[in-house]
Amino acid sequence: MAAVITLYPTVTPPSYHRIVSPTLKIPTDTRRPIPVGLLACQRDPLLRELETSIISCTISQPASFPSVKKGKKASTPPSADQPTLEVILHDTVIFPEGGGQPSDTGIIKTADGRTWAVTQAKRHGGHAVHYVRADQAEDGLASLTPGTNVTVSLGELDFDRRYDHMSMHTSQHLLSAVLENRLDIHTLSWSLTAAPAPSYVELARSMTTEEILAIQSEANKLVFEGRKVHVEVQEMDDKPQPAVPVSESGRAVGKGVPTDYTGGIMRTVIIDGVDRSPCCGTHLPTLHNLQLFIIPQTETLSRSATTSARLYFLAGPRLITYLTSMHSQLTAAAATLSCGAPQVPDRIGQVVDERKRAEKRVDDLEFELAKHVAGDVWREMKSSEAALFVKHVHRTDDSVNPLGFLSAITTAFANIIPAEQPFVLVFSSSPSSQTSASASVLLVFGSDEKYVKLAGDLLKGKLNVKGGGKARDGVVNLLAFGEKAARML
Ligand SMILES: [Zn+2]
């Protein structure tokens, strides 16, 4: 018999969702929507498909699109040419965004056998509204008729995405609880970043590597114990709830009720013996197999008045993706360096060191060579009878900074010439292989600014010169492009 490894429970245990108020009932009237807080996705986070019925379907008006909270990034609005329908169902497995957890994507199958893509779900006044894409609005309205039965489901990719969100969200509750319980570090906010990036909690202070490792091992002890997670639900008290501030970067976390908590349902997510937090998100029924990896350094953020620190973490499928990508990057680096993965840091250190020494040697040799080139020109100038000594020296050089070398020649030359003899020297340099995009550099150097400018203008006219500076201190630099320019040099 083949061995079976259960990675996570495929069915949510009945003890997961607990209604703790004697008066609260899940509405059974299929003509009314079940409020956010009691939705199927919140009662049974592992449920992928549900038979339900349509309560309403309207054409989405961009103006009526839910206003975006200040400081929050707007989600992509539907494009003008493709109509979007707003569909309210009696119940749903598609989670409408909230609690820092993004909206699910999913599918609605109508009675006529057609399939409609749900691009996102949002809460309007305590109800989950599904945004359905339709090619033609009339067509959609005809199919998604109120009162008819539909199947709402999470496809394979939709469920993978949701499972990743649940893994990260439940891990955030665990991480924040351990930080609070062990080190008295309060979580200010958190962000469930888009996969595969690590998510983060924002804290009032930075942490040492030792502290982070201690928190990680403490959290993973609870993971290995497979602590259970369940949800307690009751009506929201009528008395006003303390608001939780929303920071500009993420979703605020606290023991108070989040500001986007609507629908009159109070939901508390409990990790057995570890944490109780008000939250509307979908959570895994157990910490089992939810190993937590914390990036072992905090990132400090300084804003106008406050300083905080971000602690990045990974868990579940996102952790595996991260490890896979890190491993392939390391393997690629090891192959380039012709060494084993563990030797990569040492090998890189060596390569950087060697490179520094090689650069230093090139600099020294260039300096020495510049003196020789200058010396040759100087000897030629000494034996020349011309009233104005003019000379062009061309070099083929694949240096990243050919102009630097040409300047070194002029400096060396300036150091050996006597002041009285007038001269104009043109130094040019081209790479060994010419393409239409490669550049040659020219440097005009002379005893008199006037000659230099004249020679510079003459060259500009002849060559395809794009760049070029003004004559300054008897030097003008030019940049000529292309093979033709290189040939002419
Ligand atoms: Zn939460």
Q: What are the tens digits of pLDDT across the range 182-212?
A: 999 999 999 999 999 999 999 999 999 999 9
Q: Among 304, 336, 368, which residue terminates a domain?
A: 336
More confident residue, 198 or 398: 198
Q: What is the mean pLDDT of residues 278-283?
A: 95
469 pLDDT band, cuts 50/70/90, is low
Within a domain: 391 = yes
Q: What is the mean pLDDT of residues 16-33?
A: 94
Within a domain: 128 = yes
Within a domain: 341 = no
Measure 86 CA to ligand 1 centroid, in angstroms. Answer: 26
Measure 81 CA to ligand 1 centroid, in angstroms. Answer: 36
Measure 271 CA to ligand 1 centroid, in angstroms. Answer: 12
pLDDT, position 211: 97
pLDDT, position 77: 52
C-alpha 369: how far from chain center = 48
Indicate if 117 and 24 belong to the same structural domain: yes
User: Which CATH number belongs to the domain containing residue 104 in this structure?
Assistant: 2.40.30.130
Q: What is the mean pLDDT of residues 128-156?
A: 95
Measure 99 CA to ligand 1 centroid, in angstroms. Answer: 5
Domain boundaries, position 147:
17-62+78-158
Measure 383 CA to ligand 1 centroid, in angstroms. Answer: 87
Both tokens of 4, joined, read: 């079976």
Indicate if 197 and 231 belong to the same structural domain: yes
More confident residue, 83 or 150: 150
The b/e string for 8-45 (b: 16+ C-beta within 10 A; e otherwise) is: eeeebeeebbebeeeeeeeeeebeebbbbbbbbbbbbb
The predicted-structure confidence for 152-167, as pLDDT tens digits, reads as follows: 999 999 999 999 999 9
Measure 190 CA to ligand 1 centroid, in angstroms. Answer: 9
pLDDT, position 446: 86
Indicate if 356 and 289 belong to the same structural domain: no
Measure 174 CA to ligand 1 centroid, in angstroms. Answer: 10
Indicate if 174 and 207 belong to the same structural domain: yes
239 pLDDT band, cuts 50/70/90, is low
pLDDT, position 400: 84
Both tokens of 448, joined, read: 């008199």
pLDDT, position 464: 67
Indicate if 43 and 169 belong to the same structural domain: no
How many helices (DSSP H) and strands (DSSP E) are in the chain?
9, 21
Within a domain: 200 = yes
Measure 324 CA to ligand 1 centroid, in angstroms. Answer: 27
Measure 188 CA to ligand 1 centroid, in angstroms. Answer: 13
Measure 169 CA to ligand 1 centroid, in angstroms. Answer: 6
Measure 170 CA to ligand 1 centroid, in angstroms. Answer: 7
pLDDT, position 252: 56
Give residues whose Cβ lies within 5 Å of ion ligand 1.
99, 279, 281
Q: Classify residue 441 as exposed, middle or buried by CB count within 10 Å of its CB (0-12, 13-18, 19+).
A: buried
Q: Which helix (H) or strand (E) holds 412?
A: helix 402-416
Measure 279 CA to ligand 1 centroid, in angstroms. Answer: 4
Indicate if 312 and 359 belong to the same structural domain: no
pLDDT, position 67: 47
The predicted-structure confidence for 247-279, as pLDDT tens digits, reads as follows: 445 555 554 555 555 568 999 999 999 999 999
Within a domain: 67 = no
Indicate if 165 and 154 belong to the same structural domain: no
Indicate if 187 and 305 belong to the same structural domain: yes
What is the CA angle 442-357-370, rounded to 5? 30
Measure 413 CA to ligand 1 centroid, in angstroms. Answer: 72
Q: Which helix (H) or strand (E) holds 151?
A: strand 149-153
pLDDT, position 433: 82
Poorest-pLDDT segment among 79-83, 358-362, 383-387: 79-83
Q: What is the mean pLDDT of residues 394-399?
A: 89
Q: Is 267 helix (H, G, I), strand (E, B) or coil?
A: strand
User: Which CATH number belongs to the domain containing residue 308 in this structure?
Assistant: 3.30.980.10
Both tokens of 52, joined, read: 């339900």
Measure 281 CA to ligand 1 centroid, in angstroms. Answer: 6
Poorest-pLDDT segment among 96-110, 138-152, 173-187, 414-428: 414-428
141 pLDDT band, cuts 50/70/90, is very high
Q: What is the mean pLDDT of residues 423-431?
A: 89
Measure 259 CA to ligand 1 centroid, in angstroms. Answer: 13
More confident residue, 108 or 455: 108
Measure 71 CA to ligand 1 centroid, in angstroms. Answer: 20
Within a domain: 206 = yes
**Is residue 140 predicted with pLDDT exceeding 80?**
yes
Measure 473 CA to ligand 1 centroid, in angstroms. Answer: 67
The predicted-structure confidence for 48-76, as pLDDT tens digits, reads as follows: 999 999 999 999 986 544 444 444 444 55
Poorest-pLDDT segment among 417-421, 437-441, 483-487: 483-487
Measure 172 CA to ligand 1 centroid, in angstroms. Answer: 7
Q: What is the mean pLDDT of residues 38-47?
A: 96
Measure 230 CA to ligand 1 centroid, in angstroms. Answer: 12
Measure 122 CA to ligand 1 centroid, in angstroms. Answer: 17
pLDDT, position 64: 44
96 pLDDT band, cuts 50/70/90, is very high
**430: number of CA atoms within 13 Å, CB side?**
20
Indicate if 170 and 309 belong to the same structural domain: yes
The b/e string for 125-157 (b: 16+ C-beta within 10 A; e otherwise) is: eebbbbbbbbeeeeebbebbeeeeebebbbeee
Q: Among 124, 158, 192, which residue terminates a domain?
A: 158
Q: Considering the chain, what percentage of its residues have pLDDT values greater than 70?
A: 84
Measure 111 CA to ligand 1 centroid, in angstroms. Answer: 35
The predicted-structure confidence for 318-342, as pLDDT tens digits, reads as follows: 999 999 999 999 999 999 999 999 9
Poorest-pLDDT segment among 49-53, 127-131, 404-408, 453-457: 453-457
The predicted-structure confidence for 106-126, as pLDDT tens digits, reads as follows: 999 999 999 999 999 999 988
Phi, psi of 247, rounded to the nearest 5 degrees: -75, 165
Measure 449 CA to ligand 1 centroid, in angstroms. Answer: 73
Please state the domain count of the chain. 3
Measure 198 CA to ligand 1 centroid, in angstroms. Answer: 17
The predicted-structure confidence for 286-317, as pLDDT tens digits, reads as follows: 999 899 999 999 999 887 778 899 999 999 99
User: Which CATH number belongs to the domain containing residue 439 in this structure?
Assistant: 3.10.310
d(CA 254, CA 245): 9
Measure 258 CA to ligand 1 centroid, in angstroms. Answer: 9
Measure 475 CA to ligand 1 centroid, in angstroms. Answer: 67
Measure 236 CA to ligand 1 centroid, in angstroms. Answer: 17
Considering the chain, what is the average pLDDT of its residues?
86
Phi, psi of 441, rounded to the nearest 5 degrees: -110, 145
Indicate if 128 and 110 belong to the same structural domain: yes
Quick check: 73 and 118 in contact, CB under 8 A?
A: no
The predicted-structure confidence for 364-376, as pLDDT tens digits, reads as follows: 999 999 999 999 9
Measure 272 CA to ligand 1 centroid, in angstroms. Answer: 15
Quick check: 136 and 142 in contact, CB under 8 A?
A: no
DSSP code per residue over 350-386: HHHHHHHHHHHHHHHHHHHHHHHHHHHHHHHHHH---
pLDDT, position 331: 96
Q: Among 336, 363, 389, which residue terminates a domain?
A: 336
Measure 173 CA to ligand 1 centroid, in angstroms. Answer: 6
Within a domain: 455 = yes
Measure 268 CA to ligand 1 centroid, in angstroms. Answer: 9
Within a domain: 72 = no
Indicate if 363 and 323 belong to the same structural domain: no
Indicate if 180 and 299 belong to the same structural domain: yes
